[in-house]
Chains A and B, each alone.
Chain A
Amino acid sequence: DQQVKQNSPSLSVQEGRISILNCDYTNSMFDYFLWYKKYPAEGPTFLISISSIKDKNEDGRFTVFLNKSAKHLSLHIVPSQPGDSAVYFCAARSRTGNQFYFGTGTSLTVIP
């Protein structure tokens, strides 16, 4: 049972515009969420995280928004750059849990 879902397998955005990647979860016990970025032939690398006590976390061009009532989080990249082209995974875990649950990933292509 997929507890973390990324319903858009791919996304194309023009350079300089905003990229919005979405993620939904089903487990209300999740209290920490992360985004990872993965280039081909490399492992995922941590990008940004957010705790459930917040609804927004910002790091440079990357902002993650959390809507707990909707069990939804999103990653905004502004402005998008060609180097952002990669697969993005969202992940979640609960404070009492001891594993991460990952989504299926969204492949972002930023067109120059």
Chain B
Amino acid sequence: KAGVTQTPRYLIKTRGQQVTLSCSPISGHRSVSWYQQTPGQGLQFLFEYFSETQRNKGNFPGRFSGRQFSNSRSEMNVSTLELGDSALYLCASSPRGLAGAGSYNEQFFGPGTRLTVL
């Protein structure tokens, strides 16, 4: 079974631009979650999509948004980029989503997209 794929793997943007990152989950998984990883903050939860609906959102500004398509692929968009948005963005897929007792160890992460904002 193919794993979680993320594109692009590396991205360089300048302040004020916008960026779209893509995540293809494991086949059959309906949930995609997004995380931001920075050295000082670790992994910070951005949001989760399940069956094309945003189910939960972390504490990030509205510049961060996402969506999920009918084939479960997900995109994350960051508008008006700031220097502090430089980070590794990870997505994780799971069959049943983050809520519920049966899903605790069923998150499978992609390799991430390294975003650098200049």
Contact = CB atoms under 8 A, between A and B. Distances in A.
Given A89-B42, A102-B44, A104-B41, A34 B90 contact: no
Interface residues on B, range: 20 to 34
B45 A49 contact: no
Interface residues of A, number: 25
Interface string B68-105: 00000000000000000000001010000111010011
B111 A41 contact: yes
Given A98-B98, A99-B56, A104-B42, A43 B104 contact: no
A80 B101 CA distance: 32
A89 B45 CA distance: 14
Contact of B99 (A32, A42, A89, A98): A98
Interface of A: 2, 4, 6, 32, 34, 36, 41-46, 49, 89, 91, 93, 95, 98-105
